[in-house]
């Protein structure tokens, strides 16, 4: 029988006991892996010690999960369930997540190392709960069109679900990322086989019991823990999975596309990496620009796909910007701590592998000639803590300027003017195109810059904020689909055209 994990939190920020099942969630039940699987150790990034071990599945467990999902789709979900009922269940699930949000946030903080208030506010209140409510409202509004043809014919379209959809999600915002897949796919009548990140599976496992409590038919949502090269590969290649939604690295996105091409040509929706530019003009509101830039790169310890890691500052305010930006970064370093310490604003990287990856980029920046303004080293003797790091004098071809670091590391570069488009060319000089920020009080300039930047989202005089109704997704190698808003529904529906002869006789 599957085991459980219980953890007692005892801090001034949160007190309580949380228990989760650590098995596989298939067909509405907790089960063991078919062949014993490959257990997954879940590590506390603040100490490097194992928190607990969860069951890890194999391709055989994916087969079982897909069979359960297929049964649910054909018998108790899909288009057999009216959209209003799908929306009601999603709304009930949102209520349950809200009721349990402190426990979910505590698990997220424990597992990922982010400050507990951040997990409460961003992960739960800003994304997870609103996303569930937003797509609950869409469930009965999935509509096609009646198309004008001629007097002897009627034609209309239907937006139909794919059926079984795979979801492979990352570790930086674990539950929020999972819900960004699950909510729209359920709203549109699909069923899910979810593989949460093996690094951060705890909130997905807690969420599974809430799915049952909400009353979803067994098999509507299935969760198979495990590694990418086993469970992720099996989902990507399974012949009965008709679509896959993935958030993560560009390298893994390529592998999923290849697996789809070599199997059944399932639809693949990708939200991938980024190397976002932040462009600050002389007329920007300086204090606000510094705060927005700081939040854009150091939030969640830089472990954000849209992190603004290339900061271009016009020469007239460059020195003042650098001074204020450095002060904020060093203030964050002073506020480094564990997730449940009051005052903690900066935590560890999620794993030793991620710690080593980020330190590798820092060492690369140093060796290639960039100068460390502040940070550039680990913090403390235990855990995976890295000081917020600012480079100056970085060149466009350096690794730290071209590759996604996914850590609290950025480069600040001086530019002269908008004319000549030098700063625009620098900003677009990357294989990524997820987001960008422009700071200026000149409205015409802001619009010109936004139109010229190769990015799926551009924020003007703002940090990289999410809005439920506004699509988010990248250009170039940052992905091929959208999350949030009506656009996200396109990833989980296929359009059927129906032609009716109403008058012609042959």
Residue 187 is encoded by which pair of tokens? 């709203």
Quick one: 277-467 is in which CATH superfamily? Aldehyde Dehydrogenase; Chain A, domain 2 (3.40.309.10)
> Is there a contact between 191 and 216 (Cβ–Cβ < 8 Å)?
no
Dist CA 431 CA 247 (whole Å)? 17
- CA within 13 Å, CB half, 491: 32
* pLDDT value, residue 213: 98
- CA-based nearest residue to 463, from 298, 275, 270, 248: 298
Q: How far is CA 232 from CA 56, 99, 192, 245, in A?
A: 11, 31, 14, 11
Find, among 100, 133, 119, 88, the residue nearest to 18 by Cα.
100
Instruction: Give the pLDDT of residue 1.
Output: 62
pLDDT tens per residue, the chain (506 residues)?
Answer: 679 999 999 999 999 999 999 999 999 999 999 998 889 999 999 999 999 999 999 999 999 999 999 999 999 999 899 999 999 999 999 999 999 999 999 999 999 999 999 999 999 999 999 999 999 999 999 999 999 999 899 999 999 999 999 999 999 999 999 999 999 999 999 999 999 999 999 999 999 999 999 999 999 999 999 999 999 999 999 999 999 999 999 999 999 999 999 999 999 999 999 999 999 999 999 999 999 999 999 999 999 999 999 999 999 999 999 999 999 999 999 999 999 999 999 999 999 999 999 999 999 999 999 999 999 999 999 999 999 999 999 999 999 999 999 999 999 999 999 988 899 999 999 999 999 999 999 999 999 999 999 999 999 999 999 999 999 999 999 999 999 999 999 999 999 999 999 987 76
390: left (phi over 0), alpha (psi -120 to 50) or beta: beta
> SS3 for 89?
helix
10 Å CB burial of residue 8 (0-12, 13-18, 19+) is: exposed
Q: Give dist(CA 166, CA 158) in Å, integer.
A: 22
Token pair of 137 as six digits: 């409202």
pLDDT for res 427: 97
Residue whose C-alpha is closest to residue 276's, from 459, 398, 480: 459
How far is Cα 304 from Cα 461, in angstroms, rounded to an integer? 19
Q: What is the separation of C-alpha 82 from the centre of its chain, rounded to a whole number of angstroms?
A: 29
pLDDT of the residue at 421: 87
3-state secondary structure of 468: coil
Domain chopping of the chain, boundaries? 4-272+481-494, 277-467
The set of catalytic residues is: 271
Kindly state which CATH superfamily the domain 4-272+481-494 is placed in.
Aldehyde Dehydrogenase; Chain A, domain 1 (3.40.605.10)
Q: Which two tokens stand for residue 4?
A: 């459980």
């Amino acid at each position: 029988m599957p085991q459980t994990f219980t953890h007692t939190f005892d801090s001034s920020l949160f007190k309580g006991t949380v228990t989760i099942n650590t098995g596989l969630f298939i067909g509405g039940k907790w089960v063991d892996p078919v062949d014993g699987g490959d257990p997954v150790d879940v590590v506390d990034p603040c100490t490097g010690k194992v928190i607990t071990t969860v069951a890890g599945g194999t391709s055989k467990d994916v087969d079982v999960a897909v069979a359960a999902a297929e049964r649910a789709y054909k018998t108790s979900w899909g288009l057999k369930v009216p959209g209003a009922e799908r929306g009601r269940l999603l709304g009930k699930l949102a209520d349950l997540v809200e009721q349990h949000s402190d426990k979910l946030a505590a698990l997220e903080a424990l597992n990922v190392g982010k400050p507990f208030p951040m997990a409460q506010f961003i992960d739960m209140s800003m994304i997870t709960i609103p996303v569930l409510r937003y797509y609950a409202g869409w469930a009965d509004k999935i509509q096609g069109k009646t198309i004008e043809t001629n007097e002897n014919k009627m034609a209309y379209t239907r937006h139909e679900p794919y059926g079984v959809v795979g979801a492979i999600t990352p570790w930086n915002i674990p539950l929020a990322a999972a819900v960004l897949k699950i909510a729209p796919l359920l709203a549109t009548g699909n069923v899910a086989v979810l593989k949460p990140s093996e690094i951060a599976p705890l909130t997905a496992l807690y969420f599974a019991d809430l799915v049952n409590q909400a009353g979803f038919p067994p098999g509507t949502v299935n969760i198979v823990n495990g590694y990418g090269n086993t469970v992720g590969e099996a989902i990507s290649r399974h012949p009965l999975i008709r679509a896959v939604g993935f958030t993560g690295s560009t390298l893994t996105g390529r592998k999923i596309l290849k697996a789809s091409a070599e199997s059944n040509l399932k639809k693949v929706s990708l939200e991938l990496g980024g190397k976002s530019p932040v462009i600050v003009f002389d007329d920007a509101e300086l204090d606000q620009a510094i705060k927005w830039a700081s939040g854009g790169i150091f939030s969640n310890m830089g472990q954000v796909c849209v992190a603004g890691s290339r900061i271009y500052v016009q020469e007239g305010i460059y020195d003042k910007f650098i001074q204020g930006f450095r002060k904020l970064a060093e203030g964050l370093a002073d506020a480094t701590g564990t997730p449940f310490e009051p005052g903690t604003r900066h935590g560890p990287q999620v794993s030793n592998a991620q710690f080593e990856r980020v330190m590798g980029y820092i060492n690369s920046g140093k060796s290639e000639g960039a100068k460390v303004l502040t940070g550039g080293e680990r913090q403390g003797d235990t855990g995976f803590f890295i000081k917020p790091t600012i480079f100056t004098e970085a060149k466009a071809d350096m690794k730290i300027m071209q590759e996604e670091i996914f850590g609290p590391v950025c480069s600040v570069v001086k530019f002269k003017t908008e004319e000549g488009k030098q700063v625009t060319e620098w900003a677009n000089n990357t294989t990524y195109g997820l987001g960008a920020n422009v700071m200026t009080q000149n409205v015409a300039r802001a619009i010109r810059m936004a139109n010229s930047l190769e990015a799926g989202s551009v924020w003007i005089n703002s940090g990289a904020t999410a809005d439920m109704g506004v699509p988010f997704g990248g250009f170039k190698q940052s992905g091929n689909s959208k999350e949030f808003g009506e656009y996200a529904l396109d990833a989980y529906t296929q359009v059927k055209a129906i032609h009716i002869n109403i008058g012609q006789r042959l």
